[in-house]
Amino acid sequence: MRSGSGITAESVAFSFDGTTYHGQRGDTLAAALIANGVQLVARSFKLHRPRGIMAAGVEEASALVTVGSGAHGEPNVRASDVYLYPGLVARSQNAWPSLRRDIGAVNSLAAALIPAGFYYKTFFGPPSRWMLYERFIRRAAGLGQPPRLPDPDHYGHRSAFCDVLVVGAGPAGLNAALAATLAGKRVILIEQDVLPGGTLLREDVTINGAPGAHWAQYVVARILEAGGRVLTRTTATGYWDDNFVTAVERRVEPGQPGTGEAQVSWRLRCGEVVLATGAIERPLVFVNNDLPGVMLAGAVRELALRHGVVPGRRAVIATSHDEAYRTAFALAALGVDIVAILDSRADPAGPVIAVARARFTVLTDARPLRAWRRGMAMAGLEAQVGGTRQSFAIDCLAMSGGSSPVLHLHRQAGGALEFDAARGAFLPGAGRQRHSTLGAAAGVHDLAALLPDATVVDPLGAGTPPAPGPVWRDEAPGKAFVDFQNDVTTADLALAQREGYVSVEHTKRYTTLGMGTDQGKTGAMVALAQIADLRALPLPDTGLTTFRAPYTPVTLGAFAGPMRGDHAAPLRRLALANAHDALGALWVPAGAWMRPRAYPHQGESLGVASLREARMVRANVGVVDVSSLAKFEIAGPDALTLVAAVCATPVAKLAVGRGRYTVMLREDGMVMDDGTLWRLEETRWLLTSSTGGAARMARHLTYVADVLLGHPRAAVVDLGEHWAGLALAGPAAAHVLAGLTGAPVPAHMGLDAAHLAGVPVRILAASYSGERAFEVHVRRDQAAPVFAALVEAARAAGGGVYGLDAMDHLRVEKGHVVIGAEADGRTTPADLGMAGMLRKTGGYVGWQGLTRPALADAATRRQLVGLTALDAGAIAEGAMLVAREGAEPVGHVTTAAPRVAGEGAIALGLLLNGAARHGDRLLAWSPTRHSTVPVEVGPPLFFDPEGARYRD
Amino acid sequence: MTDVIASPAGALFALDLWHSADPAAVAAAISLALPAPGQAVEDERGTVLRLSRQRWWLLGDGFADLAHDSALTDHGVISAVGGGWTRVQMTRPDWRALLMTSGLIDAEHPDFGPGSTAISLLCHVRCVIHVRAAQACDIFVPASYTDHCLAQWRGQ
């Protein structure tokens, strides 16, 4: 281990597949396993081939393990992306009965029978059969098992704003973040590693006289000191419009129980974004390039220089460019025998090569052809060296086939890509948002160039830029992998091209290339080079798949954050919620509101309770909480103008102290909402509308005022929350209310002010139930004593409270429509039988829309009707209205209810040309609920057609 | 840890001025300072908060008489709204972080100091925020959402 690596001498016990090992704090699980001599870590996705550690970061494709136990278990964790903690428990996955003796490895023997596109060629037949096939496929191949218990971890959400966001704390990112901080900008620096430094953690360099890792920590300290924010263990998960970046911070390691937030999802709104996301080293393609012991050269170097760990004792370095030479020096310093360096270039030259030639065997025009294993680990390598083949007895191969700049965030931001043929890589082109790309992500690897103001000392000197490895052309028989996670070989790519899946998007889906948790980090560019060679195309012409977020897996809990359980969505509680609870309310969600549905007595069903409550209102008196209804005050000299524009009924002659039912239309003439309109003062009005439509009505009123009327002298004040509303209904309502206020009640559609239980209230005489009724409006924070007094008085009069279901039963009997049921956005006032109440002079929103010829033919309109069940069955809401089962529907049931006054079932419905079909008999047919009820069509009014009961 | 205390907003009035009104002239006519956007001012009657281009909030019993001030009649209107809002008082230094766990608001902006106001979605609810002091902030929450917001702010 090296100073500044974050690794301490503290021993940490952990287990893998039931065996206890010891590592050092600061080590990754991958480093600790290698340090303990564990080379076999996983089985591959499809073929169950033995796999070990290949990479050193999130790009690890093969070494996926499940970390943690029980509910804390997290599958598919990259062994190179989890840091040791005491008690870490890791298990291999996709292997049975054991990792070493995995029966699934038989797939490897039958590999020729399960090539790319195997599913599509094999599993024919009806979809139901797929359910059968799936069971076997899931057992034969796959990743880890998700935990079956609820996730016990806590997840947080956090927003942050900055002038400059820097993604990546390698040398380029650190330098940019420090410069921005010192320039007085608000800076956030995020880094997915636990430590800052990036490549400095795996290179033997000094900056301004300090080891690279120390310099990184010094820079971070300066950024923090100057007020910047540095988030380590944080991965940028998406780059969205308007410089909005999401990131997830891990506060505990996978599988690690903790008391605080395990992960925090950051929403970062940035003035400018600097992407210093680095580059990912590419593998070389040859037969058995997936064996345990075959690793990326940079990963081997990181193990050696950061963790002090070596993956073998005899190693070959295979490369296509200078950088991997550095691995030879790092390994040699730890006593590893460097058997040879294989360089695919014919005549490499430069400082590092000169030094290497003096110390190691450097073979040029050389590249691996085939690796082999003994047991589960690499035992040797056959290579092409010029015109000959040579074999090497080795236990480790450090390979490098160039590097791929990490550009997913740049692409998600809409940035263009430019292909650099020399590097065989895409580099960032023009961006669409305010972002830039620095460092290795922009193709710049030279440390001195990245830090022009620093003194960089690199004993090995700068190398040439990474160049791509050679294309594989089946020089040896066997499987040569391009996508290690999904077991995609060069043969699979060739098969896809032969079978016509030449679009790279089709190749991806046919072969599973670049899918899974890996998203093609190491394999995508290698595969594109192979495809380009197969199709004899320049690489850019093969196309690119979409760079969708997230590039690195995100725990689903991080998306949900605290919005789970009772907080999955905001809930609105009535002011009197506790009082309703005390009365035994059964709650029902109505939009975001929770409203009392009924107050069942002991042993009483919901249906029985609702019907009892409704009959109580018809017979006597009941109290219902209608606080959630929308309430707007419209005040000012031009208030009448605004009210007249919004309401489609006559309004101008409404006297102060009077109200009326009204309806509000969309501009296309369809009913948007309904309610009551009251004239409180000469220039102050109260408009009520539906609970569910409150937000829409608020927007509509503002739209009409600001856009259609051009800012009249009228204010719209949303008082839906200010006023609680309590409706008192029934034949005894007037008597009960007068007893409480000590004053005469207002006439029907009149309003008055009064005191009730010592509290000032406003009383509106309006009926929704068909009975004499009053709405008592009281300030929400003063509602409790008023409600208590109303309930007590109602009970004393033989009545009580009633809920939403009873209210629904009552209004169905009266044919009153509900927004969303009968007024479903497709109905005009005429469809609902309201044409007669519209203002004849027009001038309201929707007036012109109603003149459209398409609305003129009543025979083509679905119109409101009443439906009476002709047998004892209950009518299903949503049932189709048909002449016979299976016939074309001519309408549907919008709301169904039992008769309150009488027996049997009734409903409201929308029926084609319904007003002309009274007396017809149809079926209310719901095949999904296995319900067919014969119904007779009639007017939408079942009770007190003269309205005698609610008038004075 | 942030102390979170909730209570009814009490005497709270919305003052709406017509688009044609000149706020400075109205302020002079009714002897009331009308703060600029994003700002709040306090006087002996209570606090005046700017909510939007044409709307101010007047918080305090001392503003009740303004509803009948004839000097206002030609310029705007006052409405009582306090029943619909809960005033959540947050104290202690980390109130800004708490807000930023609840929604997309730049509560850490250097300019968002005492006397600032903002309207933002917190816990998915449209709230009015008033920075009273460096370590104290009032959040006005629509009353029906109070339990929902408090549960998150109190970590329940």
pLDDT in tens, A817-860: 999 999 999 999 999 999 999 999 999 999 999 999 999 898 99
Touching check for B103 and chain A: CB below 8 Å?
yes
DSSP labels for A196-221?
S-GGGGGS--EETTEEHHHHHHHHHH
How far is Cα B113 from Cα A670, in angstroms, rounded to an integer?
A: 48
Touching check for B105 and chain A: CB below 8 Å?
yes
pLDDT at B56 > cutoff 80: yes
Overall CATH class of domain A283-401:
alpha beta
Nearest CA-CA partner of A472 in A312, A635, A330, A282: A282
Residues of chain B neighbouring A782 (CB-CB closer than 8 A): 83
Tokens at A131, concatenated: 């359910």
How far is Cα A299 from Cα A301, in angstroms, rounded to an integer?
A: 5
Question: What integer pLDDT is reported at residue A762 of this predicted model?
Answer: 98
Q: Which residues, in sequence order, are CB contacts of A459 under 8 Å at separation 6+?
A: A204, A205
Query: Rounded to a whole number, what is the distance in Å from the CA of A636 to chain B's nearest CA?
Result: 7
**CA A451 to the chain's CA centroid:** 39
Question: What integer pLDDT is reported at residue B134 of this predicted model?
Answer: 94
Q: Return the residue of A nearest to B54 by Cα.
A: A715
Q: Which residues, in sequence order, are CB contacts of A914 under 8 Å at separation 6+?
A: A862, A863, A864, A865, A891, A937
CATH 3.30.1360.120 corresponds to the domain A577-628+722-810:
yes
pLDDT at A122 > cutoff 60: yes
Confidence of residue A110 (pLDDT cuts 50, 70, 90): confident
Query: Rounded to a whole number, what is the distance in Å from the CA of B154 to chain A's nearest CA?
Result: 12
Please indicate whether, in this complex, the C-beta atoms of B108 and A160 are within 8 angstroms of each other: yes
How far is Cα A101 from Cα A811, in angstroms, rounded to an integer?
A: 71
Q: Calculate mean pLDDT across residues A787-809.
A: 98
What separation in angstroms does the CA of A862 have from each of A420, A672, A895, A926?
64, 16, 15, 19
**CA A259 to the chain's CA centroid:** 25
Q: Return the residue of B nearest to A573 by Cα.
A: B144
Rg (CA), chain A: 37
**Contact indicator for A160, B108 with CB cutoff of 8 Å:** yes
pLDDT at A201 > cutoff 80: yes
* Cis amide leading into A127 (omega within 30): no
Instruction: Please work out, in degrees rounded to the nearest 5, the angle formed at the alpha carbon of residue A541 by the alpha carbons of A536 and A543.
Output: 120
Higher pLDDT, A301 or B64: A301
Question: What integer pLDDT is reported at residue A74 of this predicted model?
Answer: 95
pLDDT at B2 > cutoff 70: no
CATH number, domain A857-952: 2.40.30.110
DSSP code, position A587: E
pLDDT at A654 > cutoff 80: yes
SS3 of A108-158: the string is HHCHHHCCCCHHHHHCCCCHHHHHHHHHHHHHHCCCCCCCCCCCCCEEEEE
Nearest CA-CA partner of A393 in A374, A375, A376: A374
A157-279+405-457 against A471-544: fold identical: no
CATH number, domain A157-279+405-457: 3.50.50.60
How far is Cα A861 from Cα A450, in angstroms, rounded to an integer?
A: 72
Residue A741: what residue type? T
How far is Cα A206 from Cα B81, in angstroms, rounded to an integer?
A: 66
Query: Rounded to a whole number, what is the distance in Å from the CA of B44 to chain A's nearest CA?
Result: 25
**CA A848 to the chain's CA centroid:** 42
Residues of A with CB under 8 A from a CB of B: 156-161, 267, 269, 562-563, 566-567, 569-575, 593, 628, 633, 635-636, 684, 711, 713, 715, 717-724, 779-782
Tokens at B80, concatenated: 């009582």
Question: What integer pLDDT is reported at residue A138 of this predicted model?
Answer: 75
Categorise residue A154: left if φ over 0, alpha if ψ from -120 to 50, beta otherwise. Answer: beta
Burial A106-145 (b: 16+ CB within 10 A, else e): ebbeebeebebbeeeeeeeeeeeeeeeeeeeeeeebbbbe
How far is Cα A788 from Cα A551, in angstroms, rounded to an integer?
A: 58
For helices A733-741 and A783-796, the axis angle rounded to 10 degrees is 130
Please indicate whether, in this complex, the C-beta atoms of A780 and B79 are within 8 angstroms of each other: no
How far is Cα B2 from Cα B4, in angstroms, rounded to an integer?
A: 6
Q: Calculate mean pLDDT across residues A250-254.
A: 97
Query: Rounded to a whole number, what is the distance in Å from the CA of A210 to chain B's nearest CA?
Result: 34
DSSP code, position A706: I
Q: Calculate mean pLDDT across residues A78-84.
A: 97
Residues of chain A neighbouring B84 (CB-CB closer than 8 A): 718-723, 780
Tokens at A60, concatenated: 């690890």
Residues of chain B neighbouring A722 (CB-CB closer than 8 A): 80-84
What separation in angstroms does the CA of B48 have from each of A524, B11, B40, B57?
60, 12, 5, 6
**Residue ranges of domains in chain A:** 11-111, 157-279+405-457, 283-401, 471-544, 577-628+722-810, 630-718, 857-952
Mean pLDDT (chain A) is 95
pLDDT at A1 > cutoff 60: no
Confidence of residue A3 (pLDDT cuts 50, 70, 90): low
A-contacting residues in B 72-91 (Cβ below 8 Å): 76-77, 79-85
For the whole model, what pTM was predicted?
Answer: 0.91
Q: Beta strands B55-59 and B12-17: pairing type?
A: antiparallel
Query: Rounded to a whole number, what is the distance in Å from the CA of B41 to chain A's nearest CA?
Result: 22
Query: Rounded to a whole number, what is the distance in Å from the CA of B85 to chain A's nearest CA?
Result: 7
Task: Give counts: helices (H), strands (E), chain B.
Answer: 3, 10
What separation in angstroms does the CA of A871 have from each of A322, A326, A630, A914, A923?
88, 88, 39, 21, 11
- Looking at domain A630-718, which CATH architecture does it have? 2-Layer Sandwich (3.30)
Question: What integer pLDDT is reported at residue A119 of this predicted model?
Answer: 77
Of B100, B125, B151, the CB nearest to A160: B100
Question: What integer pLDDT is reported at residue A952 of this predicted model?
Answer: 72
pLDDT at A564 > cutoff 90: no
Read off φ and ψ for residue A476, nearest 5 degrees.
Answer: -145, 150
Q: Domains along chain B?
A: 3-7+84-153 (3.30.1360.120), 11-82 (3.30.70)
Query: Which residue in B26, B70, B77 has the most chain A C-beta atoms within 10 A of its own C-beta, making it the best mutation to test that interface?
Result: B77
Read off φ and ψ for residue A811, nearest 5 degrees.
Answer: -75, -30
Please indicate whether, in this complex, the C-beta atoms of B77 and A715 are within 8 angstroms of each other: yes
Read off φ and ψ for residue A208, nearest 5 degrees.
Answer: 50, 40
Q: Return the residue of B nearest to A716 by Cα.
A: B16
A-contacting residues in B 21-50 (Cβ below 8 Å): none
CATH number, domain A471-544: 1.10.10
DSSP labels for A898-945?
E-SSSSSEEEEEEEETGGG-TT-EEEEEEGGGTEEEEEEEE-S--S-T
- Looking at domain A11-111, which CATH architecture does it have? Roll (3.10)
Tokens at B57, concatenated: 């909030």
For residue range A688-730, list pLDDT tens digits in order.
999 999 999 999 999 999 999 999 999 999 999 999 999 999 9
Residue B8: what residue type? P
CA atoms lying within 13 Å on the CB side of residue A168: 26
Q: Return the residue of B nearest to A567 by Cα.
A: B148
Residue A605: what residue type? S
How far is Cα A819 from Cα A806, in angstroms, rounded to an integer?
A: 17
Question: What integer pLDDT is reported at residue A537 of this predicted model?
Answer: 95
Question: What integer pLDDT is reported at residue A130 of this predicted model?
Answer: 78
How far is Cα A324 from Cα A329, in angstroms, rounded to an integer?
A: 10
Q: Return the residue of B nearest to A706 by Cα.
A: B19
Tokens at A940, concatenated: 């939408």
For A685, the 3-state DSSP assignment is: strand
Residue B112: what residue type? F
How far is Cα B127 from Cα B118, in angstroms, rounded to an integer?
A: 8
Touching check for B108 and chain A: CB below 8 Å?
yes
Please indicate whether, in this complex, the C-beta atoms of A722 and B81 are within 8 angstroms of each other: yes
Query: Which residue in A721, A761, A762 has the most chain B C-beta atoms within 10 A of its own C-beta, making it the best mutation to test that interface?
Result: A721
